[in-house]
Amino acid sequence: MSTLGPLDPSRSGLPLRARLATTVGGAAGRASRLAGRGDGSVIGGIIGLRLQPDLLSLLARGRRIVLVTGTNGKTTTTRLITAALGTLGQQIASNAFGANMEAGLVSALAKAPDATMAVLEVDEKHMPAMLEATGARDRGIVTLLNLSRDQMDRAAEIWLLARRWRAALAGAPDCRVIANADDPLVAWAAGQARRVTWVAAGQRWHDDSWCCPNCGSHLQRDGDDWHCGECPNRRPPVSWVLADDEVIDPTGRSRPLDLTLPGRANRSNAVVALAVADVFGVGVAQALSAIRPVQSVAGRYTQVDRRGCALRLLLAKNPAGWLEALDILAPAPVPVMLAVNAQGPDGKDTSWLWDVDYRRLRGRQVFVGGERKLDLAVRLEADEVTFRIVSTVDEAVDLARSPSMDVLANYTAFQQIRALLGRTA
Amino acid sequence: MPDGVGSGPSAIRLVWVYPDLLSTYGDRGNLLVLARRARLRGIGVEIAEVNSDQRVPVDGDIYLLGGGEDLPQVLAARRLRAGGGLAAAAGRGAVVFAVCAGYQIIGTEFGGAEGEPVPGLGLLDLRSGRGQRRGVGEITADVDPALDVERLTGFENHQGTTVRGPGVKPLATVLTGVGNGDGTEGAYSGRVLGTYLHGPALVRNPGLADLLLRWVAGTLPAIDPRQEELVLNLRRERLAAQPG
């Protein structure tokens, strides 16, 4: 878990009240962490903001800001960018544990008063506001990964979200945008930005972009390429490409990625991180040397031994995430446990389960858990996947009697499993 | 494109209308539940998924319309009106089951992205507009006794309010949740039925799925209770989680 470094209340340029706000906020964060209530990054930021509402702007002033947003991959990409920029030898502020709203950003910056750079993941809905508040609109970098349906009971509809991104970026001509050209919604959202580096980062999930976000006509697709049959909207020319397991840089040179992290989605995240690193003058080889060793991100992909079974923990929160996660499951006969909750952070609506195609799990040993295991069980039954319902990971481990097992869970189900398995996860 | 599994001359033809525009959150569930409940009874199923750049066939038995954001909803209504296939099918007595944005589309008029009135298909005499607040959460409602369907349980996520014209009956009376905004939920007339229960509305309401199948196939044989156990447990769990 993260440690709050000693705060420097004399950080130059901060007004007295802002200094007090970061000090009090930091103390509250430490108290919260000691009390075992998470990593303390949110409560500290909330208290700081209450004392000084423009604290984020004050803390961000004078730093080079990278914002990372999108439906999936924010936390991992933030981590990979931080690793790549770390080769410059400077201190970097980052909300590495996914606290991605204003308070989390405040906390990340307050913890690293001397960092000249900040790599911050930002909730999709809050991107326009954070673009303003962090000053990233003027001299910063915004990284747009992908957009797909996610927690529809509390998040904005995604076409609406894309429209808000588009307006915000159109009004930020000095902002550098790194965007995934393969996602039509993202491409459209970045379409009026002045300075865009387009990355062919791929798109596995197409079900939210069958139609042109510009005019609504059916999009024509040919592999990763796409264009609208009715209006001029088309995939922009790209300068970075993810091609299977390799990255092709803007000079046309390709190199194997060789990541420790599994899966296509992480290769996509890595190529985006390389494009960001390039803006800072970090070359591909240098950036890759720092990105390759990353093996788990905030608990994701962690391996834990449990009663002689090597568990690998995978997190996916929405249909596009589950699609990618099902891709990286160890092949049969390694058993799989799926766990789903529907608490506030998960979205209270389990409808999304019906957007995931589970048929590839047919014939495998599957365990079903989490607080909404019945919703998941009914879903698997409709896809003719056989499974056993369990109460805990341990029950699945005992029933499976396998040397290893993959555990795929959504957000709070994942956190519950990590808590059960202890700090090692 | 029919995906003929166990299909035959008496197979039920399911048509999923415009999944490219009207599939926001789990709408595929309704298709899968209808197909499963038909097959468990030995009834064949043919499935057609018809995108908005294709013609809606007129010879389907059950047409499904899902939810959608404002802009896709307006586009879907425009294309369905221009194509005419769905209205023709409904005219010859096909079953139409529409949820959320699809429910509004089958009415006479609904509110567009800026609240402007947009003409619907007019399969039901309904007018929908934008309410004061968004209805988001679990909904339970008691179905019109004439339909012989058990209590509805589902999730709603919409800001619409819907007013029925004469000749259109409410599908249900709201116990918890918002529904049409006047204490009723959904609407039906003949074999056209709409509801604000969004996404996979039929999953937790197998009785409603069976009503649609019955409208096509008449009296249905019972399903092996072992095949019903999970869904009945899910229904019990969800209904128990709701007050009222």
Q: Confirm whether B145 is domain-assigned.
A: yes
Do A107 and A94 form a contact (C-beta atoms < 8 A)?
no
pLDDT for res B70: 86
Q: Which residues of A touch B53 (CB under 8 A)?
A: 217-218
Looking at the DSSP bridge assignments, the partners of residue A89 are none
Largest CA distance in chain A: 64
Are the beta carbons of B200 and A349 separated by less than 8 Å?
A: no
Alpha carbon of A189: minimum distance to chain B alpha carbons (Å) = 16
Residue A237: asked if its preceding bond is cis (omega within 30°), the reply is no
Q: Which residues of B touch A158 (CB under 8 A)?
A: 69
Provide CB contacts within 8 A for A223, sequence distance 6+: none
CA B241, distance to chain mean position in Å, is 24
Interval B3-24: pLDDT, tens = 444 444 579 999 999 999 999 8
Backbone angles phi, psi at A281, to 5 degrees: 80, 10
Q: Which of residues 194-233 of A touch B (CB under 8 A)?
A: 207, 210-211, 216-218
Closest CA to B166 of B184, B182, B191, B187: B187
Interval B30-86: pLDDT, tens = 999 999 999 999 999 999 999 999 999 999 999 999 999 888 899 999 999 999 999
3-class DSSP state for residue A192? coil
Q: Which residues of B touch A322 (CB under 8 A)?
A: none
Supply the pTM of this predicted model. Answer: 0.89
Q: Given the DSSP bridges, would you call strands B109-111 and B117-119 parallel, antiparallel or unpaired? A: antiparallel
Do B5 and B34 form a contact (C-beta atoms < 8 A)?
no
CB of A349 within 8 Å of a chain B CB? The answer is yes
**Distance between CA A316 and CA A92 in Å, rounded?**
27
Q: Which residue has the higher pLDDT, B170 or A421?
A: B170
Are the beta carbons of B21 and A158 separated by less than 8 Å?
A: no
For residue B87, give Cα distances in angstroms to A357, B31, B74, B91, B211. Answer: 31, 20, 17, 6, 21
pLDDT for res B36: 98
Q: What is the 3-state secondary structure (H, E, C) of A345-403?
A: HHCCCHHHHHHCCCHHHCCCCEEEECCCHHHHHHHHHHCCCCCEECCCHHHHHHHHCCC
Do B161 and B145 form a contact (C-beta atoms < 8 A)?
no
Which DSSP state fits B224? P
Looking at the DSSP bridge assignments, the partners of residue A243 are A246
B231 φψ region: left (φ > 0), alpha (ψ -120 to 50), beta (else): alpha
In the annotation, is B198 catalytic?
A: yes
pLDDT for res A13: 64
Interval A131-182: pLDDT, tens = 999 999 998 999 999 999 888 776 668 888 999 999 999 999 999 999 999 9
**Distance between CA A186 and CA A127 in Å, rounded?**
13
Alpha carbon of A215: minimum distance to chain B alpha carbons (Å) = 9
Interval A334-378: pLDDT, tens = 999 999 999 999 999 999 999 999 999 999 999 999 999 999 999
Tell me what ipTM this predicted complex has.
0.95
Q: Confirm whether B7 is domain-assigned.
A: no
Domain A56-291 sits in CATH 3.40.50.80: no
Do A393 and A417 form a contact (C-beta atoms < 8 A)?
yes
pLDDT for res A3: 33
Q: Confirm whether B6 is domain-assigned.
A: no
pLDDT for res A27: 63
Give residue limits of the domains in chain A. Answer: 56-291, 303-421
For residue A69, give Cα distances in angstroms to A66, A123, A145, A147. Answer: 10, 6, 6, 9
Compute and round to an integer the Cα radius of gyration of chain B: 17
Do A84 and A108 form a contact (C-beta atoms < 8 A)?
no
**Distance between CA B84 and CA B135 in Å, rounded?**
32
What is the residue range of B143's domain?
Answer: 12-240
Are the beta carbons of A382 and B36 separated by less than 8 Å?
A: yes
A152, A373, A380, A386, best to mutate vs chain B, most B CBs in 10 Å: A152
Closest CA to A405 of A377, A366, A374, A372: A366
What is the CATH number for B87? Answer: 3.40.50.880
- Which member of B29, B138, B237 has the closest CB to residue A354? B29
Q: What angle do CA A32, A38, A43 make, to 5 degrees?
A: 50
Alpha carbon of A273: minimum distance to chain B alpha carbons (Å) = 30
- Over range B186-190, report the average pLDDT: 98
CB of A160 within 8 Å of a chain B CB? The answer is yes
pLDDT for res B3: 45
Q: Which residues of B touch A382 (CB under 8 A)?
A: 29, 32-33, 36
A16 φψ region: left (φ > 0), alpha (ψ -120 to 50), beta (else): alpha
- Count of CB contacts below 8 A, A vs B? 88
> From the DSSP assignment, how many helices (H) and strands (E) are in chain A?
15, 17
- Which member of B25, B75, B234 has the closest CB to residue A375? B234
Q: Which residues of A touch B36 (CB under 8 A)?
A: 382
**Which amino acid type is present at position A414?**
F
**Distance between CA B164 and CA B179 in Å, rounded?**
13
Alpha carbon of B231: minimum distance to chain A alpha carbons (Å) = 6
Q: Confirm whether B1 is domain-assigned.
A: no
> Which chain A residue is nearest to residue B155, measuring alpha carbons?
A349
B27, B70, B230, best to mutate vs chain A, most A CBs in 10 Å: B230
**Distance between CA B182 and CA B168 in Å, rounded?**
15
Domain A303-421 sits in CATH 3.90.190.20: yes
**Which amino acid type is present at position A400?**
A
- Complete DSSP assignment for A52-81: -TTHHHHHHTTSEEEEEESSSSHHHHHHHH
Largest CA distance in chain B: 49
Interface residues of chain B, partner chain A, Cβ below 8 Å = 19-21, 23-29, 32-33, 36, 51-53, 69-72, 75, 136-138, 155, 157, 198-200, 203, 230-231, 233-234, 237
Are the beta carbons of B26 and A159 separated by less than 8 Å?
A: no
Q: How many domains does chain B have?
A: 1
**Which ranges constitute the DSSP H helices of A14-170?**
16-34, 41-51, 55-60, 74-85, 102-111, 127-133, 136-139, 158-170
- Which member of B32, B71, B233 has the closest CB to residue A216? B71
